[in-house]
Amino acid sequence: MDRMLVVVFDNESRAYEGKKALLQLDGEGSITVYAYAVLAKNADGTALIKQEDDAGPLGTLVGTSLGSLIGLLAGPAGFAIGATAGALSGGAFDLNNVRVGDDFIDDVGKLLSPHKVAVVAEIEEEWTTPVDERMEALGGFVVRRTLAEVRHTVDNEAIAAMKADLAQLKAEHAKARADRKEKLESKIDQLNAKIQAQVKKAQVGLEAAKGRAKAKVQLLKTKAAAARSKVL
């Protein structure tokens, strides 16, 4: 299952050990790590990205579910971008792309209090025990959530609802008095613009999801090829 994983540690050194253990599990084939970041919460509430994975097809956090989660965890105070987080510079997080529930975000936000450091990762795992045992041994507190499907259904339902409103307005416009037609036309134009914007947003989200899926497949193929070469 594709999951969002957050492991909160008391200090930076333990977090880096946790990151190393996570990548070791990936190397052993216990899990697949698609992307990760080491995130520290400062006393003033800003979130400092200490280290990110900037290699491979899912290296950049921008536009990913992981990046979106980090954007939410940063809160109103925002980011103090670390030197190793170059792939984030100038990037925008799509907060509609996080793919986990509000309760998960709230739980992580409470755990990631000032001076705490977390390893945040998007992974694939079938069993929770390998990760839990490694992280708990290092003093990490683990929270995870299976990633929901991208919300294309919700987008389509929103578009359908707006189109129904548009049809109603047009029906009223056809029967309206002359003094009402102009006001209805303005509402029709505004709603048309909103529909077009929503359609564009849905298309962009769909293409981004396809790109991420393709990148994940390529990453798995690369890992499989590397494993076969070791056997040979």
pLDDT reported for residue 90? 37
The residue among 153, 104, 163, 119 whose CA lies nearest residue 24 is 119
Kindly report, residue by residue over 75-123, the tens digit of the pLDDT: 554 444 443 343 343 344 455 667 777 778 888 888 999 999 999 998 9
51 pLDDT band, cuts 50/70/90, is: low
Q: For residue 114, give both structure tokens.
A: 């000032």
CA 30/CA 53 separation, integer angstroms? 19
DSSP 8-state assignment for residue 184: H
pLDDT reported for residue 117? 94
Is the pLDDT score of 185 beyond 50? yes
Q: State if pTM tops 0.75.
A: no
Give the least confident one: 5-9, 145-149, 159-163.
Answer: 145-149
The radius of gyration computed from the CA coordinates of the chain, to the nearest angstrom, equals 22
pLDDT reported for residue 99? 74
Q: For residue 230, give both structure tokens.
A: 């070791």
End-to-end CA distance of the chain: 29
pLDDT reported for residue 95? 53
23 pLDDT band, cuts 50/70/90, is: very high
Residue 99: alpha-carbon gap to chain centroid:
6
Is the pLDDT score of 214 beyond 80? no
Mean pLDDT of 3-18: 94
